[in-house]
Chains A and B, each alone.
Chain A
Amino acid sequence: AAGVIQSPRHLIKEKRETATLKCYPIPRHDTVYWYQQGPGQDPQFLISFYEKMQSDKGSIPDRFSAQQFSDYHSELNMSSLELGDSALYFCASGIRTSGANVLTFGAGSRLTVL
């Protein structure tokens, strides 16, 4: 079965550079969530989309932005990168139907800022 695809799997950037992470949700899933997991930390919710519209926002820095495109894939754009942005970034997708609310997570994109 198709899973949530994230790319790139690993990314190394310098401070003040820009990075873009991509997420391809499971076909027919209509929600996408982005999480950030710092070293030794629990995943923190960043932002979510439902049917290509932003549906919820968490602790996402102003330097970050995200969108969901017509083909339902999503991109997380991070500018003016800081050392503290080094983390594992997860994308998850789900179907907004009653009774389930189950998210499937991708394998993550590991960003290292030098």
Chain B
Amino acid sequence: SQTIHQWPATLVQPVGSPLSLECTVEGTSNPNLYWYRQAAGRGLQLLFYSVGIGQISSEVPQNLSASRPQDRQFILSSKKLLLSDSGFYLCAWSGVPSAKLFFGSGTQLSVL
């Protein structure tokens, strides 16, 4: 069966520090991968999606970047965090676009 791992679960970082969140998927090949951010009381906002190694699409301009160095690995990064980067970050995968998503357990990021 397929599983998705995301870490860390919580992270407290000072403003201006770098960020690296990692997500890996097991039990499937060539998944569509996604990074979402969820702000309190709001719907999930798609940040990045990837349909293959090295293929990254950004949905919103921001202080973040994503990379997919391996088929089942998706990384969310920032060189310098802003206060506004605080939020709940979720990695997800799907078999085909616009299909049901399966999420990692999320990372609660607090930028202070």
Binding between chains A and B: no
Which residues on B are within 8 Å of A, measured CB to CB? none
Which residues on A are within 8 Å of B, measured CB to CB? none
